[in-house]
Amino acid sequence: MRAWVVEQLGGVEALTLRELPEPAAPGPGEVTVAVSAVGLNYPDLLMLSGSYQYRPPLPFTPGMEGVGRITAVGEGVSADLLGHRLLLGRRTGLLAEQVTLPLASLREVPEALSDSEAAGFTTGALTAWVALVPRGRLVEGEHLLVLGAGGGMGLAAVAMGKALGARVTAAASDSAKLAAAEQAGADACVLLDRAAPDLSPLKGSCDLVFDPVGGPAVLPALKALRRGGRYLVIGFVAGPPVGVPTNLALLKEIEILGVRAGEAGRQDPALGRRALAEIDRIAASGRFRPIVGLEVPFTRAPDAFRAMQAGSLVGKAVIAMDRA
């Protein structure tokens, strides 16, 4: 089978398409899955250069979320599941034609989602739900500001915020990204200059800020919070973390909350199960659909990583298997 492999850290250019042995036959409670599509996330890009907090041992195959169909079952797994379409999730390893995984780690695909949508569904939806519900304590009708609203994570927060009853303002750096945010359900949009973002029209009006970007937007976004507001730190797409004036947190009595959805589930398995059940329920209802901005065939996987690296991607990048 073919798989994309990273043998030495070196960014996108480190990706090499290799012919590897077929995955091990499924053992008890396991299944082998033919991967249909893989959705990319920013951590996938960071891992190529060793810049993410989790560093998989070399060599490794990227890919943390996807969708596929069962082709073989192990002991204790019903043969009736052959051909079944399931959501795939793990820290790495999915950018391959086949994988063998424990059945218990897989989930049914919400019927409302296509393969491409399903491949890019879990990470964004899970992060958005964990951020807004247990961490951000979002109340229906509250005002949510989403930074980086044209990227996959930002668009997930816009859609999840609307599904949970928030009034959502989307902020992004170009009109195409804001158009996607409107498609995802944003009530209002703000065009930002990346180098000097101006959020002064929102000063003191927001209950929550969802920030996967960081950088120059941090201080303006903090000022956009009302007294007692909550600032959700998701990531740092704009560069290294910036210093925060803690006196502002004191004077406005705001909360600055870190969000690591995957780690939250590992530390609190009951919360992890509830989160997955909730995002699947919301997607099944038709209130959450990932926006796929780029889909490339398996042999062109590096192109999807480069688009994400360039910062021009609107929505999710998805890599689809090209089984000729």
Nearest C-alpha neighbor of 295 from the set 73, 98, 66, 24: 66
Q: Are strands 292-297 and 316-320 parallel, antiparallel or unpaired?
A: parallel
Nearest C-alpha neighbor of 91 from the set 56, 122, 118, 125: 56
Tokens read off for 284: 């099944």
The span from the CA of 103 to the CA of 157, in Å, is 29
| Non-local CB neighbours of 7 within 8 Å, separated by 6+ positions | 14, 16, 58, 59
- The whole-number pLDDT of residue 324 equals 44
Q: Are strands 107-108 and 85-89 parallel, antiparallel or unpaired?
A: antiparallel
The span from the CA of 200 to the CA of 172, in Å, is 15
- The whole-number pLDDT of residue 145 equals 98
Q: Are strands 107-108 and 65-73 parallel, antiparallel or unpaired?
A: unpaired
CB 169 within 8 A of CB 145: yes
- The whole-number pLDDT of residue 240 equals 79
The residue whose two tokens read 């999710």 is: 316
Tokens read off for 287: 């209130």
Q: CA dihedral in degrees (237, 68, 84, 20; nearest 10)?
A: -140
Q: CA dihedral in degrees (291, 294, 296, 301; nearest 10)?
A: -100
* Structural domains present in the chain: 2-121+290-320 (3.90.180.10), 123-263 (3.90.180.10)
List average pLDDT for each run of 10 residues in the chain, which is 324 residues long.
96 96 95 97 94 93 97 96 95 96 95 94 96 97 96 95 97 93 96 92 97 94 96 87 87 94 93 96 93 95 94 91 66
Reduced to 3 states (helix: H, G, I; strand: E, B; else coil), residue 59 is: coil
Q: If you write DSSP's letter for every residue of 214-268 in order, what string do you get? A: -GGGHHHHHHHEEEEEEEEE---TTSS-----HHHHHHHT-EEEE--HHHHHHH-
Q: 212: buried, middle or exposed (CB in 10 Å: 19+, 13-18, 0-12)?
A: buried
pLDDT in tens, 44-73: 999 999 989 899 999 999 999 999 999 999
Reduced to 3 states (helix: H, G, I; strand: E, B; else coil), residue 8 is: coil
Element (H or E) spanning 160, and its range?
helix 152-163
Instruction: Enumerate the β-bridge partners of residue 2.
Output: 19
Q: Is the pTM of this model over 0.75?
A: yes
Q: Which residues of 173-192 are buried (b: 16+ CB within 10 A; e: fewer)?
A: beeebbebbeebbbbbbbeb
